[in-house]
């Protein structure tokens, strides 16, 4: 079983407004991201909410997702990852770690990562575009306890640094694996492409 863990608990300080609720196309950004996840071959989608959790839940109404609330609303991304990992079902073999602010995410890219994970003996699969690593990251639940107890100073990227021999890079054509939305200029660029 592969579970998608969608991070949607941030405060969007650099954007100035809750970026996950900004319209991209005809829907809020978080709905666009989650819809791509749900179109992909993952077995379930878990959305970690915190700040603005009620509004994000409303934006995802009617979708087949499970919500987990991160009580640490001031925490870094790693606190949301850990919150989600603690809530994963026992049957979960791997986690697809998805940024909620990645407007260019495509179900086809996720499908490619899942296929690569199932064909390899490596425990970490990361997409690359033009040789640069991006998101989402797919990793074996074998690393669950390690993520829960380490990498406070560097976040989940510490996992890739600690286990380079277990990382499989999958080159993808879509540049969206490198892009997220943090500041107003990112949003203007995203909307300009619609």
Q: Which domains does the chain have, with CATH numbers?
A: 2-183 (3.90.550.10)
Asked whether the predicted pLDDT for residue 127 surpasses 90, the reply is: yes
How far apart are alpha carbons 144 and 11 in whole angstroms? 25
In percent, the amount of the chain with pLDDT more than 70 equals: 95
Which DSSP state fits 50?
Answer: B
How far apart are alpha carbons 49 and 29 in whole angstroms? 14
pLDDT at 110: 98
Specify the length of the chain in residues.
Answer: 194
pLDDT at 25: 86
Q: Interhelix angle for 107-119 vs 29-39, to 10°?
A: 40
Distance of CA 56 to the CA centre of its chain: 15
pLDDT at 10: 78
Question: Residue 169: which H helix or E strand, with range?
Answer: strand 167-171
């Amino acid at each position: 079983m592969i579970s998608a863990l969608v991070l949607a608990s941030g405060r969007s300080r650099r954007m100035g407004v809750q970026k996950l609720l900004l319209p991209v196309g005809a829907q809020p950004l978080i709905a666009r991201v989650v819809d791509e996840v749900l179109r992909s071959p993952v077995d379930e989608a878990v959305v970690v909410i915190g700040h603005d959790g009620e509004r994000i839940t409303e934006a995802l109404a009617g979708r087949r997702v499970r919500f987990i609330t991160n009580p640490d609303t001031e925490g870094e991304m790693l606190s949301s990852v850990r919150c989600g990992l603690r809530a994963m079902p026992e049957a979960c073999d791997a986690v697809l770690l998805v940024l909620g602010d990645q407007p260019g995410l495509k179900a086809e890219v996720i499908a490619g990562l899942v296929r690569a994970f199932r064909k390899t003996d490596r425990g970490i699969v990361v997409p690359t575009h033009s040789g640069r690593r991006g998101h989402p990251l797919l990793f074996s639940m074998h690393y669950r306890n390690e993520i829960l107890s380490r990498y406070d100073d560097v976040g989940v990227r510490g996992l890739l640094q600690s286990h380079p021999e277990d990382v499989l890079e999958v080159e993808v054509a879509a540049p969206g694996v490198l892009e997220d939305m943090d500041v107003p200029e990112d949003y203007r660029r995203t909307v300009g492409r619609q």
